[in-house]
Structure 1
Amino acid sequence: MICKDRMSMGTDIVNINRIKKIISEKKSRFYDKIFTVKEIEYISNGGHKYTTIAGIFAAKEAISKVLGTGIGSVGWKEIEILHCASGKPYVNLINKGKEKLEELGLDSIEISISHEEDYALAFAIGYRSNNINIKIDDSIKKLLPRRSRDSHKGTYGRVAVIGGSRGMVGAPYLTSMAALRTGTGLVYSIVPKSLENIMSIKLTEVIVKSAEDKNKGYFTKDSLSDILEGIEGMDAIAIGPGIGADKERTYLTEEIINNYKGPIVIDADGINCLSINPDILYKRDQPIIITPHPGELGRFLGISTKEIQENRIYYSKYTSEKYNIIVALKGANTVVASPKNEIYINATGNPGMATAGSGDLLTGIIASFIGQGLIPIDAAKLGVFCHGLAGDLASIYKGEHGVIATDILENIPYSIKKIQE
């Protein structure tokens, strides 16, 4: 199935009396400049009606706006308006027109033409398709949470994201928005108090909470009581995006792990803080998922990134079993390992996802699925699949060189929709 996504629009209105005047003065020159042979044939068969001529003229202008060029770099005759047997107009792009369509990542342009006594109006919409050639196994499809008509925002979980420091507010922003886009009913972003205003401006649908930071711009030991209060009643929490790493933040990370009684997703500097004293994991009986890139897992284990990359499955399993946690080792073919010796190798994703903020999105996606009721290992497997698929969809339209984290974020709903289809 091909699901279309509206990308860009263009419209144009033409005064029919203007067309009458032009044709009365220089009909042949006007026809030769503006219309293709097939268009002239259609106009002729229709009796050279001014309304028809004005409608096709307006449609070409509207389409040039969808292409973002105007008439110029794409010429009049490189935009052709043809008609089905039923009379419905459709677009045929030629040479530079076709090249521009492909450059924009559009699959088609649809048009509507109407007129009344004095004016002809054309409306054009450019579409891209969310069609991507990837097999979605039933094992993934069945993990996706179903939504009931008899539900409310509380039905789909409460997730808190603990993160941010001065200069790094984008990380918790992306994690929080990813959780929302994945389907969480209520998302809370807990940030240092001095960053509360900027996060409140950036986040419209997320509930922003603050923790005392003595105006330092990062979490301190004074932040702990506010954080612990803020995560009460949460179905899942995520910690790490943008928090930074030092003794105070290591202390906070350890205290949150010791005190919160639900599932935790730990990423980025949260993993770096945890690597100072990973033995605290032995004391915890609630699920923890860590989502390291190879460098972070290397620091956690005290070995080189090169060693991790050469033995990705081994070290994912080793870490998972040793510390009784779930590991999602990011990178090409993300590896998910559980303490029960489960291994999942993800097939989605592309090199365009090697961009700042991409990992923050994965943290939010996994936390969201846990908050919606999935067991953590299933949330991790479905999360890395959706994350990679969102990146694949983004790369279709932006190219691997141009993808940024917000492109992946915007495609999370489409990745979920594609699994549903």
Structure 2
Amino acid sequence: MMRKLDKNSIRTLIPKRSIDANKGTFGKVLVIGGSKNYPGAAYFVCAAAYRVGAGLVTLATEDIVKIIVSKKLPEVTFLSSNEVFEKIDNYDVLCVGPGLGTNTAAAKLVKQLLIKKLPPKVIDGDGLNLLSKMEVWWEKLDGEVVLTPHPGEFSRLTGLSIERIQSDRENVALQFAKKWGKTVVLKGANTIVAFPGGGVVISPFANPLLATAGTGDILAGVISGFLAQGLNSFEAAICATYIHGLAGEKLKVLFGKAGALASDLLPLLPQIIKELV
């Protein structure tokens, strides 16, 4: 069954905010990402998770990235990579891969994550690229998982050509969501969200303004933030996809079809949530 996302269906999914809550109420996100060449990816994920209501966001990354992100977003707390496995059970959600790189250390870290029982997770960017090099990786990832590939990453994961993927996005996304047993968010114009149980939803938004560096990292952060607040993988994916797309539409009113930065999306996220609830 395929359907388009709409405002009314999303409104019912947005997590409620109790007046007597504390930061633990709204979940703890651990982001494993960022590298000296891609510090911005880590920043965008962390900021987006906070902007949609996560209670605490921690970043496990290189020292140089910690310095950069802490100056931009002092609300983030930090771990070193060698602390991840000691502390991982303290978190409600993992977001793995944005800006991580694909070097030997990153590959080793992702392989280690596959053999440990984990909380719900979002895998994006280089996390997907590293998975694509591993045999039957989907059998080793348990629990709630959201994969957020763009067509190039999806091509590497599936072995299909980008042309084949783009010619039948809905059915191809659903085919592999079922095969892998994971929620798939196939990014692009009219982003597709496919659920392993058989559901497919299509974003109503096709916006070239969002075809710029960092917007995918923000989507991964929004999904992570909603997972942390208790939505399941499919709910978090469709809620995030709609709100992220609607933020892009608001930017289009200001900028037209080009010239906005990914960072321009961030302050719009809580505004849109306010309007929806």
TM-score grouping bracket, smaller chain normalisation: over 0.9
Q: Give me the CA root mean square deviation.
A: 1.5
Output one character per residue of 1:17-68: Cα deviation in whole Å (capped at 9) or x when no partner. Answer: xxxxxxxxxxxxxxxxxxxxxxxxxxxxxxxxxxxxxxxxxxxxxxxxxxxx
1:183 aligns with 2:40: no
What is the aligned-residue identity percentage? Answer: 39
1:209 aligns with 2:66: no
- Structure 2 CA distance for aligned equivalents of residues 278 and 366 of structure 1: 26
1:270 aligns with 2:127: yes
Q: Which position in structure 2 is the counterpart of 1:321?
A: 178
Between the two structures, name the one with larger relative contact order (CA 8 Å, sep ≥ 6): 2
- Structure 2 CA distance for aligned equivalents of residues 200 and 137 of structure 1: 35
Verify the 8 A CA contact 1:169 1:242 in the aligned structure 2. Answer: yes
Per-residue deviation at 1:255?
1.3
- Structure 1 CA distance for aligned equivalents of residues 140 and 126 of structure 2: 21
Output one character per residue of 1:91-137: Cα deviation in whole Å (capped at 9) or x when no partner. Answer: xxxxxxxxxxxxxxxxxxxxxxxxxxxxxxxxxxxxxxxxxxxx944
* AA in 2 matched with 1:333: N
Q: Which position in structure 2 is the counterpart of 1:81?
A: none
Output one character per residue of 1:227-253: Cα deviation in whole Å (capped at 9) or x when no partner. Answer: 212422111010111011134322211
Of residues 133, 149, 160, the one that matches 1:303 is 160
After superposition, the Cα gap between the structure-2 partners of 1:209 and 1:247, relative to the gap in structure 1 and judged at 3 Å, is: closer
After superposition, the Cα gap between the structure-2 partners of 1:248 and 1:208, relative to the gap in structure 1 and judged at 3 Å, is: closer
Aligned positions, number: 273
1:227 aligns with 2:84: yes
After superposition, the Cα gap between the structure-2 partners of 1:366 and 1:256, relative to the gap in structure 1 and judged at 3 Å, is: same
- Structure 1 CA distance for aligned equivalents of residues 94 and 130 of structure 2: 16
SS in 2 for 1:147: coil
- Structure 2 CA distance for aligned equivalents of residues 171 and 291 of structure 1: 14
* AA in 1 matched with 2:22: H
- Structure 2 CA distance for aligned equivalents of residues 176 and 332 of structure 1: 24
1:408 aligns with 2:265: yes
- Structure 1 CA distance for aligned equivalents of residues 189 and 262 of structure 2: 17
Q: Which position in structure 2 is the counterpart of 1:354?
A: 211
SS in 1 for 2:9: helix
More strand by share: 1
1:15-414 correspondence runs (5 A): 136-211=6-81, 225-414=82-271
Verify the 8 A CA contact 2:58 2:77 in the aligned structure 1. Answer: yes
Per-residue deviation at 1:398?
2.2
* AA in 1 matched with 2:129: N
Verify the 8 A CA contact 1:240 1:269 in the aligned structure 2. Answer: yes
SS in 2 for 1:231: helix
Per-residue deviation at 1:208?
2.2
Which consecutive segments of 4 or more residues in structure 1 shift more than 4 A? none
- Structure 2 CA distance for aligned equivalents of residues 353 and 341 of structure 1: 28
* AA in 2 matched with 1:318: Q
Output one character per residue of 1:315-368: Cα deviation in whole Å (capped at 9) or x when no partner. Answer: 211111111111000011110011100111111351100000000000000011
Verify the 8 A CA contact 1:348 1:389 in the aligned structure 2. Answer: yes
Per-residue deviation at 1:190?
1.1
* AA in 2 matched with 1:227: V
* AA in 2 matched with 1:394: L
Q: Which position in structure 2 is the counterpart of 1:24?
A: none
Instruction: Report the TM-score when normalising by structure 1.
Output: 0.63
* AA in 1 matched with 2:13: L
- Structure 2 CA distance for aligned equivalents of residues 376 and 171 of structure 1: 22
Output one character per residue of 1:186-216: Cα deviation in whole Å (capped at 9) or x when no partner. Answer: 11111123433223222211112222xxxxx
SS in 1 for 2:266: helix
- Structure 1 CA distance for aligned equivalents of residues 219 and 135 of structure 2: 22
Verify the 8 A CA contact 1:228 1:260 in the aligned structure 2. Answer: no
Q: Which moved more, 1:272-281 or 1:374-383?
A: 272-281
Verify the 8 A CA contact 1:394 1:408 in the aligned structure 2. Answer: yes
- Structure 2 CA distance for aligned equivalents of residues 136 and 316 of structure 1: 20
SS in 2 for 1:145: coil
5+ long unaligned stretches in structure 1: 1-134, 212-224
Instruction: Report the TM-score when normalising by structure 2.
Output: 0.94
